[in-house]
Amino acid sequence: MNNELRVEKGSRCRLCGGQVEESIDFGPQPVSNAFILPTEVGGEPFFRLALGLCLSCGMAQLLDEVPRERMFHEDYPYRSSGSAFMRKHFEEVALSLVEEELTGPDDLLVEIGSNDGIMLKAVAEAGVRHLGVDASRSAVEVATAKGVRSRVDFFEESTAAAIRAAEGPAKVVFSANTFSHIAYIDSVFRGLDLLLAPDGVFVFEDRYLGDIIEHNYFDQVYDEHFYLFAVRSVQIMAARFGFELVDVEPLRVHGGAMRYKLARPGARRPSAAVSEFVDKEARLGLADPATFRRFAAGISRTRDELLAVLTDLRAGGHSVVGYGATSKSATVTNFCGIGSSLVSFVCDTTPEKQGRLTPGSHIPVMPPEAFSDPYPDYALLFAWNHADEIMAKERRFREQGGRWILYVPDVHIV
């Protein structure tokens, strides 16, 4: 049997219009954050998850686009503030933007994808003028309760025009883990052009393609991550839409991310880091077909090994539960074929996910208290990006003989 992922040729690049020469097909997948009620089993929509790579501009992108209203809506359950590590990260981001960029008395910061206010909370507390824009009403309500000004909307050209008319120009537009979710970048850039002050900056951070490929983070590929950015592709994107990439900074969040700063051409001198990363990506062959094919081969290997480990453990009578009902786990469970016979339940702190089933794979989601009641023999860590925080919090699990199963960068038990 050939278990290799199908690598096929396909479609046009959403950035440069070139041919997307390489792609990895993960097969049919559900919407990654569509946690369903037991009564809803059988009614889920599936789409084809396929990651393509444009060899001309280096932009990695999905070949099929899930309509945005299907992903982000009233019931979108993702809440950013579930991790203490991420809360600290975004507080630092907020304070550095306030200190370095928002120095005028009336400067405005707009955030795209502000979710539960994890970043804007500290901006609001510093008394700085701000506005969050997020497509999920329930997430915005949590932000509002924290004193964060935000509106329910998809950011695009018309939203930017409305904000500009009501609030004036923005000194900073910030976005974390959201710009990659928006397939229609041309409208977003027209919006940024309308909204940003002449000396304003667009700062965004997102998972970094270099880390994803280097560490085999294949589960970062899911419906919401329409683009997987690299420094070179962002540089090309900025130039194409009338901006300039002036700084980049690698980040330790989500297993490896990058912060990009864009300004109007000539407004700021690009830092040396930009060309250093562009050179490094070229040296490593990040946008080479051979690199992409190695990534595909590593994904097939991980799937086979993970399935073998789980099947053996269950056959040996061991109990296995999942930890962290992440968006990433939708790709892992559906692509690898992991259901509740292999992983009995997944525990997660998000109330909006508890009592529901994981999309497509239908594993029950339970509150974290279920983890120790009684402890399982093994725990599959879907939230591997929070390994330090979770393993510290669940220290007793290991002390009494439990073991963690990790599947990145390869399948191993600790």
Instruction: Say whether residue 16 binds Zn ion (CB under 5 A).
Output: yes
Question: Whose Cβ is closer to Zn ion: residue 56's or residue 138's?
Answer: 56
54, 18 Cβ separation under 8 angstroms: yes
The residue whose two tokens read 């950015």 is 229
Q: Which of 13, 139, 274, 405 binds ligand SAH (CB under 6 A)?
A: 139
Q: How many residues bind ligand TYD (CB under 6 A)?
A: 18
Strands 108-112 and 365-366: unpaired
The nearest distance, CB 175 to ligand SAH, in angstroms, is: 7
Q: Which of 51, 63, 112, 336 binds ligand SAH (CB under 6 A)?
A: 112
Instruction: Say whether residue 154 binds ligand SAH (CB under 6 A).
Output: yes
109, 97 Cβ separation under 8 angstroms: yes
Segment 41 to 70, residues that bind ligand SAH, using CB under 6 A: none
Question: Whose Cβ is closer to ligand TYD: residue 189's or residue 208's?
Answer: 208
Q: How many residues bind Zn ion (CB under 5 A)?
A: 8
How far, in Å, CA of 42 to CA of 301, rounded? 30
Q: Which of 20, 102, 109, 135 binds ligand SAH (CB under 6 A)?
A: 135
Instruction: Say whether residue 5 binds ligand TYD (CB under 6 A).
Output: no
Q: Which of 252, 318, 393, 396 binds ligand TYD (CB under 6 A)?
A: 393
Site pattern 171..210 for ligand SAH (x: CB under 6 A): -----xxx--xx----------------------------
**Closest among 328, 329, 350 to 339, alpha carbons compared:** 329
Question: Whose Cβ is closer to Zn ion: residue 52's or residue 376's?
Answer: 52
How far, in Å, CA of 67 to CA of 390, rounded? 33
The nearest distance, CB 219 to ligand SAH, in angstroms, is: 16
**Number of residue whose CB is nearest ligand SAH:** 113
Q: Which of 26, 35, 76, 217 binds ligand SAH (CB under 6 A)?
A: 76
- State both tokens at 244: 């300039």
Helix-helix angle 157-167:185-195, to 10 degrees: 10
The contacts of residue 187 (CB under 8 Å, 6+ apart) are 156, 157
Torsion angle of alpha carbons 284, 408, 220, 396, nearest 10°? -140
Question: Whose Cβ is closer to ligand TYD: residue 324's or residue 360's?
Answer: 324
DSSP notation for 229-289: B-HHHHHHHHHHTT-EEEEEEEE-GGGSEEEEEEESTTTSPPPHHHHHHHHHHHHHTTT-H
307, 341 Cβ separation under 8 angstroms: no
- Give which of Zn ion, ligand SAH, ligand TYD, none residue 176 binds (C-beta under 5 to 8 Å, depending on kind): ligand SAH
Q: Could you tell me which stretch among 57-65, 163-171, 316-324, 334-342 binds Zn ion (CB under 5 A)?
A: 57-65
Segment 348 to 377, residues that bind ligand TYD, using CB under 6 A: 348-350, 368
- Give which of ligand SAH, ligand TYD, Zn ion, none residue 18 binds (C-beta under 5 to 8 Å, depending on kind): Zn ion
Q: Which of 93, 102, 133, 274 binds ligand SAH (CB under 6 A)?
A: 133
How far, in Å, CA of 405 to CA of 221, rounded? 20
The contacts of residue 360 (CB under 8 Å, 6+ apart) are 29, 30, 44, 46, 330, 333, 334
The β-bridge partners of 379 are 321, 404
Residues in the site for ligand SAH, rule: CB under 6 A? 72, 76, 78, 80, 112-113, 115, 118, 133-136, 139, 154-155, 176-178, 181-182
Residues in the site for ligand TYD, rule: CB under 6 A? 78, 82-83, 324-328, 348-350, 368, 383, 385-386, 389-390, 393
